[in-house]
Amino acid sequence: MTRHGDELTERLRAVSAGRYHDRHPFNVRMHAGELTREELRRWIANRFHYQRHIPVKDALILAKFDDPAPRRGWLRRIRDHDGEREGEGGIERWLRLGEAAGLKREQLLDSSRVLPGVRLAVDGYVNFCRLRPVLDAVAASLTELSAPDLMRTRIAAFERHYPWIDAEGLAYFRTRVDQGARDGQEALALVLEWARTPEEQDRAVAALAFKCDVLWSLLDAVERGNAVGPLSGGAA
């Protein structure tokens, strides 16, 4: 690792340490076992909106690579989420988490429970990956570096505090421990390779901060739920 690589890695880790959504009050309550069943279901249904858009943002990033080599690695991310065949992959595992928590898969697939703030957060992230240079888009994915620890804590918290959710429903979290670590390291290597000038390094740091804000805003919206917002049917 070069000196510049060490410094940039340190700056990126500082962003995650300060802004990653593990510190969000809703996540803190989730892991402390304080969520009601309805709150947990609301989170699962809304976070699914994020999950199902991961392959979309990854395809947009894929389209920014000039060479087969980096595409091969990034393609695996899409395959991880979509699966090789029907009934496999991360999106399917999230649907099963929903079922284990008492949600019908149609309730996730039809987006009926997705809150406006969650839609905006997800659209914002997808459009960031659509419109920004590849360095920014890949740097935004570096929240993966923090995901394995979050997943491990979450598995333990769910097993302890929400035993009404069948342990098989937690397969998504278990799979992401290793996938997240591998994806995060691969993306970090690309960012360190590309971000040479101070301006590029600032962009990488800003992209990761933006992504932390996306995840944080998503939890803000879930925490708020339907408590504040347009009157039901008011705009119909």
Question: Which spans of this chain sit near a copy of itself (rule: CB under 8 A)?
Answer: 52, 55-57, 59-60, 62-63, 66, 68-69, 71-72, 75, 78-79, 81-86, 89, 91-92, 130
Which residue reads 């690792």 in tokens?
1
C-alpha 44/C-alpha 114 separation (Å) is 10
The residue (of 70 and 148) whose beta carbon lies closer to a copy of itself is 70
**What's the closest the beta carbon of residue 41 comes to a copy of itself, in angstroms?**
23
Record the tokens describing residue 188, joined without a space.
Answer: 């970090």
- In contact, 195 and 139? CB cutoff 8 Å: yes
The residue (of 62 and 215) whose beta carbon lies closer to a copy of itself is 62
**What's the closest the beta carbon of residue 214 comes to a copy of itself, in angstroms?**
18
- In contact, 126 and 194? CB cutoff 8 Å: no
**What's the closest the beta carbon of residue 11 comes to a copy of itself, in angstroms?**
30
**What's the closest the beta carbon of residue 17 comes to a copy of itself, in angstroms?**
32
Among 123, 52, 144, residue whose Cα is nearest residue 92: 52
- In contact, 198 and 102? CB cutoff 8 Å: no
- In contact, 13 and 145? CB cutoff 8 Å: yes
The residue (of 66 and 199) whose beta carbon lies closer to a copy of itself is 66
- What is the C-alpha end-to-end distance of the chain, expressed in Å? 57
The residue (of 67 and 199) whose beta carbon lies closer to a copy of itself is 67
Q: Write the DSSP symbol of residue 230.
A: S
The residue (of 6 and 88) whose beta carbon lies closer to a copy of itself is 88
**What's the closest the beta carbon of residue 151 comes to a copy of itself, in angstroms?**
21
The residue (of 55 and 148) whose beta carbon lies closer to a copy of itself is 55
**What's the closest the beta carbon of residue 37 comes to a copy of itself, in angstroms?**
28
Which residue type sits at 181? A
Among 100, 125, 140, 117, residue whose Cα is nearest residue 46: 117
